[in-house]
Amino acid sequence: MGINIRIPQASDPVKRALLLSLAVSAVSLSLKLGAFVVTGSSAALSDSLESVVHIFAVGFVVYGYYLSLKPADDDHHYGHERIELLSVGAEGAIILAAALTIVYYAVQSLITGIVIQNMGTGLIMLIGAALINLLLGTYVLRVGRAHGSMIAVSNGKHTLTDVWTSGGVVTALIIIHFTGWIYIDVIVSLAIAGYISYEGWQLLRFSVKGIMDERNPEVDAALRKELDRELPGHITGWHHLRHRTSGRTTWVELHLVFSDNISLEQAHADATRLERRLIDALKTDGVITLHLEPQTAHDADHQILKGANKKKKLDEFA
């Protein structure tokens, strides 16, 4: 079966931001590679390597975003939005790989010797790359936060790490120019590796938390606030609230308890009104699954399910 991806509309701000990130990152990489070629600085090489990794990461992010827009199908009943978690995790892992590469080249330069030249030209190129990434990263991060797209937020944060790495390299070259202390080049390289390792770990951690369906505190608070208000019609209580968020959609499961001797039609109408309130309380799209239960026969009816699951206790699912 071929991949049938729904292409986002031209007005999609997240798509526009990610494509711009991919194009501008190529320009930034060219400037950084040029700075390394003219200076021979280990720190400049570290900065360039981080940008090479960034190009691959952005490419994967763009693909992940397009794939996440593909609607549910026979093989993926819950859609494809969880690819965003994999995309964010892959970007974090790639950043960590870049950090290890930077450490390797920094140690190698200590062994083979450090020679830096043409610092003026290299500084101009690195400062230009840093300014480009500052504008780009700020823009992509703002778009991601405004539209609740973690895939764009992670890309914006990754782009802004480039600003710090370039700033560190610029600082190192300036210090070397005025003091002649050439080993600051290696020290800055190792500092850059440490900083981007932290950023990569944060992205990887977010990905794992999402894949493991860790409770989102903001979503949980929004749902519980709505459920603590007066419930519609004949709903007398609720329990077994569960939820997880994938991309732009939050999936919610909830058991509702109703007064006895009401019609199925009335219970459904009350439940639907609450469903609308819960969806409105979310910042994401919402898919709400409600299990309707009578108040008096609640416990007796659940005994039918006792022992149905071999590894789960009855109160875990009923």
Please report the domains of the chain, with CATH numbers, ordered by start residue: 13-211 (1.20.1510.10), 217-316 (3.30.70.1350)
Using CA atoms, how far apart are residues 80 and 84, in angstroms rounded to an integer? 8
What is the per-residue pLDDT for 251? 94
What is the per-residue pLDDT for 103? 82
What is the per-residue pLDDT for 304? 83
User: What pTM was computed for the model?
Assistant: 0.70
How many residues appear in the chain? 318
Structure tokens at 77: 């009943």
Residue 262 half-sphere exposure toward CB, CA atoms < 13 A: 21
Residue 69 half-sphere exposure toward CB, CA atoms < 13 A: 16
- Please identify which residue in the block is written with the tokens 């409770």: 215
What is the per-residue pLDDT for 257? 94
Using CA atoms, how far apart are residues 47 and 127, in angstroms rounded to an integer? 12
Using CA atoms, how far apart are residues 211 and 16, in angstroms rounded to an integer? 26
Using CA atoms, how far apart are residues 52 and 71, in angstroms rounded to an integer? 32
Give the chain's residues under pLDDT 50: 1-10
